[in-house]
Structure 1
Amino acid sequence: MAWAITLLLLAGTVWLAIEGDLGGTVLTVLAMVASGALAAHSTLLRPRLAAGPEGLLVRTVGGSHRFSWTEARLRLRTTRRLGRDSTTLEIESGDHLLVFGRIDLGEDPRDVLDVLVALKGQALS
């Protein structure tokens, strides 16, 4: 979706440049760069979270991080913003706190937590 928006903004930028609208061109270029950066981030860091028998693998801008099941603490956090409840999955390990929302996970964080707890239980038993 972000790539499609970036392409539409590129077309808008070209059109505004041809029309000679300097202000509009600058604004659409800025929007296009922001949308392109978001699209690249989403594409390059997929999957953000992977789980297996040995633990968790988390991909961030700073690189990949591995956490064993014994050191990873999992929990849900629900906050209310702009009149809407938002649920996130928090993974804490040592000095790392990683927060994943629905967009990061591609699923409801509650469902992901259920799967992770089941995997953790199997791995530790």
Structure 2
Amino acid sequence: MPVNSSREWSTPIGLVVCGWLLTAAAAWWCWLTESATDRLFVAVLALVLATASAYVSLARPRLRADESGITLRGLGRTRHHPWSRIQVHVRSRQRLGRSARTLELDGDNG
């Protein structure tokens, strides 16, 4: 990796926007329903969609790797793991007749 470069991973912005649009649609649907049972069901749906959309909006970027290590960002806190405390493994597995490789990063939880 070149000096001062970093790579980031987060939920694609299109999915974040889609989540907020679905939240707005569910809220509008809740406002239009006449039955109390339907209104409760749709209100719970809107609340779940709003919670998920807020999480993916606030926890961006979720993962960042740079020359100093890996940074994981969540809703409550951000944790940084320096490269000296991370073990990197490439695993190969066979499943359904196909070979798949995964990159595993084991960090110190202390």
Partner of 2:27: 10
Q: Structure 1, residues 42-100: CA drift from partner, whole Å, max 9, x if none?
A: 0000000111111111101230001111112345778x8xxxxxx9765321237xxxx
Structure 1 segments unaligned to the other structure (5+ residues) = 81-86, 97-125
1:68 maps to a residue whose letter is P
RMSD: 2.5
Partner of 1:47: 61
Decide which of 80, 83, 91 is 1:66's aligned counterpart: 80
* 8 Å CA contact 2:69, 2:80 repeated in 1: yes
Counting aligned pairs with the same residue, the percent is 21
Decide which of 12, 28, 31 is 2:45's aligned counterpart: 31
Structure 2 segments unaligned to the other structure (5+ residues) = 1-17, 96-100
Q: Which runs of 4+ in 1 moved over 6 A?
A: none
Aligned pairs, number: 86
2:56 maps to a residue whose letter is S
CA distance in 2, matches of 1:88, 1:42: 24
Distance 1:76 1:30, change over 3 A: farther
More helix by share: 1
Relative contact order, CA 8 A, sep 6+: which one is greater? 2
Distance 1:90 1:30, change over 3 A: farther
CA distance in 2, matches of 1:95, 1:58: 12
2:49 maps to a residue whose letter is S
TM superposition score normalised by structure 1: 0.60
2:20 maps to a residue whose letter is W
Correspondence 1:93 to 2:110: no
Partner of 2:35: 21
